[in-house]
């Protein structure tokens, strides 16, 4: 049972902390995890001023701090085959925010209606959803008539495997709606698939574009990418300088992916079909520098 309206919440992820801010609910946020991934200056200011508690790592948060905060709920993202440790024994309702499992970007956005209900700001939440939906669908419609859909490969390998986003996921949907052909369009599930570098290279070596997210203090360059793994330089997109990177430590990608997928879609449309949005200014994805 969740007592409503919720008057105090602990939020494990930067994604949902950003949603709380955009709903005007920061006064109700008692604590957050992993502030190093938060880009909001206001949330960081409140953490520095101890108005919002830093609860440490989301996998093993400071349970004593959570108890002292006397929170109504904990909002956490569930992960397969893992629980919530000692927090499960506190008797505090844990809201499993599984919006990242939705297979459509607007499916993620629609979760705002749920938060509108439990925080008693339903009208604002509904209004945010409808505005995003209208803009997203208008942008998608602008690419419905494109005759040439460039091919794209996504992300890069981590360790020994390359986590390939599924075409049936919200990520795959974003690129499809932006008028691109994703090289792994045959993975129709919503779950990522783990491939070897060789498998991805065979499939995507001739892709027109390569888009990736990364998180570093400085901008990634082609030289950085080559030093990280020399075979990356074999991709056509590397040779033609058609790689775009999104630095998630600098941009607000994760702040906006839930409530504003339309803004991310606009970036993708501009990259694939710049003639559709000639006045657009990139916000998330930028060309890698030499």
Spell out the per-residue pLDDT of the chain, length 290, in tens.
Answer: 898 999 999 999 999 999 999 999 999 999 999 999 999 999 999 999 999 999 999 989 999 999 999 999 999 988 755 678 888 899 999 999 999 999 999 999 999 999 999 999 999 999 999 999 999 999 999 999 999 999 999 999 999 999 999 999 999 999 999 999 999 999 998 889 999 999 999 999 999 999 999 999 899 999 999 999 999 999 999 999 999 999 999 999 999 999 999 999 999 999 999 999 999 999 999 999 99
213: burial class by Cβ within 10 Å (0-12, 13-18, 19+)? Answer: middle
Spatial distance between the Cα atoms of 124 and 110, rounded to a whole number of angstroms: 13
Domains of the chain: 9-134 (3.40.50.1980), 146-287 (3.40.50.1980)
Q: Give the β-pairing of 162-164 and 193-195.
A: antiparallel
CB-based contact 47:11 (threshold 8 Å): no
pLDDT at 220: 97
Task: Round to whole Å and give the CA distance between 165 and 243.
Answer: 17
| Residue 223 φ then ψ, to 5° | -65, -40
Starting at the edge strand found earlier in the chain, the sheet holding 94-96 runs: 53-54, 29-32, 9-11, 73-76, 94-96
Question: Quick one: tokens of 146?
Answer: 């494109």
Cβ atoms within 10 A of the Cβ of 170, count? 23
Its sign, for the CA torsion 21, 42, 61, 165, is positive
What's the pTM value of the predicted model, to 2 decimals? 0.94
């Amino acid at each position: 049972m969740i007592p409503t309206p919720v008057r105090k919440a602990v939020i494990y992820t930067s994604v949902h902390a950003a949603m709380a801010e955009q709903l005007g609910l920061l006064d109700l946020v008692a604590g957050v995890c992993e502030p190093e991934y938060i880009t909001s200056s206001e949330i960081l200011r409140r953490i520095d001023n101890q108005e919002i508690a830093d609860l440490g790592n989301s996998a093993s948060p400071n349970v004593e701090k959570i108890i002292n905060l006397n929170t109504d709920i904990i909002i956490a993202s569930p992960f397969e085959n893992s629980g919530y440790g000692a927090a499960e024994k506190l008797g505090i309702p844990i809201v499993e925010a599984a919006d990242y499992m939705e297979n459509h970007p607007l499916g993620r956005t629609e979760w705002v209606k749920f938060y509108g209900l439990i925080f008693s700001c339903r009208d604002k939440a509904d209004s945010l959803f409808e505005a995003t939906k209208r803009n997203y669908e208008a942008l998608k419609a602008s690419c419905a008539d494109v005759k040439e859909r460039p091919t794209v490969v996504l992300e890069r390998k981590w360790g020994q495997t390359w986590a390939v986003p599924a075409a049936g996921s919200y990520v795959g949907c974003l690129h499809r709606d932006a008028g691109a052909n994703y090289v792994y369009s045959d993975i129709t599930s919503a779950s990522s698939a783990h491939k070897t570098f060789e498998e991805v290279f065979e499939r995507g070596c001739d892709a027109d574009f390569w888009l990736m997210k990364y998180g570093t203090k400085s901008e990634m360059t082609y030289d950085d990418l080559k030093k990280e793994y020399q075979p990356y330089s074999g991709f056509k997109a590397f040779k033609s300088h058609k790689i775009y990177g999104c630095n998630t430590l600098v941009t607000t990608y994760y702040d906006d992916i839930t409530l504003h997928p339309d803004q991310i879609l606009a970036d993708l449309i501009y990259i694939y079909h710049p003639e559709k949005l000639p006045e657009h200014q990139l916000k998330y994805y930028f060309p890698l520098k030499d």
